[in-house]
Amino acid sequence: MPLYLAEMMANKNWIRPGVGARMACALLLLAVSCCCSPVRALADERSALSDFSGSYPALAAAGTRSFTLKGVPGDPLNLAFVGSEGDLLRLMAKAGWFPADPITLRSSLRITMDSIVRRPYVDAPVSSLYVAGRKQDLAFEQPAAANPSKRHHVRFWRIDAPGPAQWMAAATYDTSIGLSRANGHVTDHVTHHISADIDAERDKLLADLRRVGGVTIDWVDDFQPVREGRNGGGDPFHTDGRLALVAIAATPAP
């Protein structure tokens, strides 16, 4: 109970017939509310993850991280989507995000040359990461500079579940191209390095989706158990631990 309430209730001189009784009841209710509201807030936060697991068990079972082909934890998952592939493709196109090219010898040579000469490559390929043993089904990006070394990008994994299509996603911002790190040592593997603030990229994508409309966004608190760490390329990251759950409005049948 706040100290000022305890002092007032201990002082009997302030109680007068009629008014004092009503005030005492009001102060008692206020004291109970002040003491119990933090507990209620914590219960709501805990139930958010429980509600998510109950409503979307397949998404919850997919885990909280992507992985490299060698099983090293990769980028954290920070978004989930519910909606058909067609609606997802249309939504991302309206929001100004480009589908990434597949990784081929030609696309790999192009992204290398375009990075060197600082030439845009709006649909440059992204490396493969895995969720539940399968690589991303879709990937989108937005250029953020005159060359492909800096870009916004997001990967999507289709999660097997009954009903409307469900997706887990990881949005990160690429800041440069360089050699990856493993166990603190530089390797010979060339990769994009990401910004440590992965929440900023999650929120940037959400802002683009809000701008074009047709989505409902909810939040799952405490989704990520690891708030600071490193991805498969050795890049540090930090997060508030929240997962954005995006429901896409279905396109009416013609």
Report the alpha-carbon distance of residue 214 to residue 84 in Å, rounded. 13
Confidence class of residue 187 from pLDDT cuts 50, 70 and 90? very low
Of 155, 159, 187, 175, the C-alpha closest to 67 is: 155
Report the alpha-carbon distance of residue 205 to residue 156 in Å, rounded. 13
Same domain, 73 and 187: yes
Helix (H, G, I), strand (E, B) or coil at 224: coil
Same domain, 40 and 112: no
Do the domain assignments include residue 95?
yes
What's the CA angle centered on 109, arms 104 and 115, to 5 degrees? 125
pTM over 0.95: no
CB 103 within 8 A of CB 96: no
Do the domain assignments include residue 254?
no
Same domain, 32 and 125: no
Q: Percent of the chain beyond pLDDT 70?
A: 62
Same domain, 163 and 64: yes
Same domain, 29 and 78: no
Q: Percent of the chain beyond pLDDT 90?
A: 53
Concatenating the DSSP letter of every residue in 11-28 gives -GGG--TTHHHHHHHHHH
Same domain, 116 and 36: no
Same domain, 83 and 151: yes
Same domain, 20 and 133: no
Same domain, 175 and 205: yes
The single-letter DSSP state of residue 195 is P
What is the number of structural domains in the chain?
A: 2
Does 234 or 144 have the greater pLDDT score?
A: 234
Average pLDDT score over residue span 66-89 = 96
Confidence class of residue 254 from pLDDT cuts 50, 70 and 90? low
pLDDT value for 182 = 52
Domain range for 43 is: 3-53
pLDDT value for 104 = 46
Do the domain assignments include residue 244?
yes
Residue indicated by tokens 């004092």: 20
CB atoms inside a 10 Å sphere around CB 231? 26
Same domain, 142 and 65: yes
Same domain, 87 and 178: yes
pLDDT value for 156 = 98
Strand 79-82 with 243-248, pairing = parallel
CB 195 within 8 A of CB 171: no
pLDDT at 212 over 90: yes
Same domain, 91 and 211: yes
pLDDT at 62 over 60: yes
Q: How big is the chain by its Cα radius of gyration, in Å?
A: 25
CB 111 within 8 A of CB 125: yes
Q: How far is CA 27 from the centre of its chain?
A: 42
Average pLDDT score over residue span 176-184 = 52
* 21 CB-near residues (< 8 Å, 6+ apart): 15
pLDDT value for 25 = 43
- Of 89-93, 155-159, 192-196, 241-245, which range is least confident? 192-196
Do the domain assignments include residue 253?
no
Confidence class of residue 151 from pLDDT cuts 50, 70 and 90? confident
pLDDT value for 177 = 60
